[in-house]
Amino acid sequence: MGTLRSTFSSPHYPAARPSHKVTSPPRIRTPESGSDEAIKSILEQAKRELQVQKA
């Protein structure tokens, strides 16, 4: 158990104290209709790829 704890508390994996200030990602400004169309096209492409894999 002690080894696991020391592994997770190593400087490479700061538990709850990140060295940099955490900020929320910037909002991506896209028109709703445009993003809906993009999602639809991605889903259609995924469907086609799945059908090709099954064939």
**Cβ(8)–Cβ(15) under 8 Å?**
yes
- Dihedrals phi, psi of 23, to nearest 5 degrees: -125, 155
pLDDT tens, residue by residue, 28-37 = 666 665 678 8
Tell me the per-residue pLDDT of 1-55, one tens digit each, with 9 for 90 and over: 555 555 555 555 555 565 666 677 777 666 665 678 888 999 999 999 999 988 7
